[in-house]
Structure formats: C-alpha cells, structure tokens
C-alpha cells in the first residue's frame, strides 16, 4: 500500500492507495452528492475527487472546516464538499495529486523515464 502525507495550515493529511472497501464507501458518499448537485461532467469529476479524498485520507488537525468520514450524515458531507471546493487551490491540488500518485501501481513501467526502462520496453517505445 502506498501512502503520501502533506500538511496544510498545521493539519496533516495522509492519503493511502485504494482498497476494496473504498468502492463501497464511495457509493455511500458519492450517490447522494450527485443526486443533490447534478450529473454535469464537471460536477462528476469534482465529486469523484472529493469522494476519493474522503475514503482514502485521514486528517489530523484542523483544515479550517469540518472534515467528514464515510458514514457521515448527508448534510455534513454536502457542507464538507462545499467547503472543500472553496478551499485554497494549494490544498485541493496537493490532495488530488496525492490521490493520483498513490493509486498508480508501484513499478508501473509505463511511467518510468526512458533511461529506466527495461531493454524490451526501450525497443517498443522507440517505434
């Protein structure tokens, strides 16, 4: 399991790679949000990242707004989502980048720099 931690305003956010329970928890959080906000492609993308942040992260300290956990009341989740969207861009970008990073399989050769590729991959990537 991969992890990445960063701090924001004194709070420490730790993001871990996805596990099976996340798929189930994501439905509990995401479906009510989608029903409330709508199914616009922009909203779907925002909600997808927010839900991933909720189910894959622990927050120690104060973000400046209440953070929720899976199983929180629907109105608390919506309030947290609204606050997360209004948070400084540095927080949202760091968090979403961490989500992307921990969900990449470790050692994924498609993400290696060219000089680190195995010989057989170097040959196919040159063509």
Distance, C-alpha 25 to centroid of its chain = 13
Q: What is the pLDDT of residue 12?
A: 97
pLDDT tens-digit series, residues 95-113: 999 999 998 876 666 666 6
Q: Is 48 exposed, middle or buried (0-12, 13-18, 19+ CB in 10 A)?
A: middle
Residues 58 and 69: their CA atoms lie apart, in Å, by: 9
pTM greater than 0.85 (yes/no): no
Domain chopping of the chain, boundaries: 3-126
pLDDT tens-digit series, residues 50-96: 999 999 999 999 999 999 999 899 999 999 999 999 999 999 999 99
The answer to whether residue 126 scores a pLDDT higher than 60 is: no
| Residue (of 61, 31, 70) closest to 48 by Cα position | 31
Rounded to an integer, the average pLDDT of 3-15 is 95
- At residue 6 the predicted structure's pLDDT band, cuts being 50, 70 and 90, is very high
Instruction: Give the DSSP letter string of 5-43.
Output: EEEETTEEEEEE---HHHHHHHHHHHHHHHHHH---HHH
Residue recorded with tokens 């779907």 = 44
Q: What is the pLDDT of residue 2?
A: 87
């Amino acid at each position: 399991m991969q992890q990445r931690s960063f701090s924001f305003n004194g709070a420490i956010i730790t993001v871990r790679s996805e596990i099976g329970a996340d798929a189930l928890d994501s439905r509990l959080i995401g479906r009510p949000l989608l029903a409330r906000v709508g199914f616009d492609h922009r909203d779907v993308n925002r909600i997808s990242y927010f839900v991933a942040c909720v189910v894959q992260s622990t927050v120690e300290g104060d973000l400046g707004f209440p953070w929720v956990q899976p199983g929180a009341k629907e109105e608390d989740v919506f309030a947290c989502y609204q606050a997360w969207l209004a948070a400084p861009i540095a927080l949202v970008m760091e968090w979403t980048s961490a989500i992307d990073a921990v969900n990449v399989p470790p050692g994924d050769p498609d993400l290696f720099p060219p000089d680190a590729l195995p010989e057989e991959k170097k040959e196919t990537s040159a063509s």
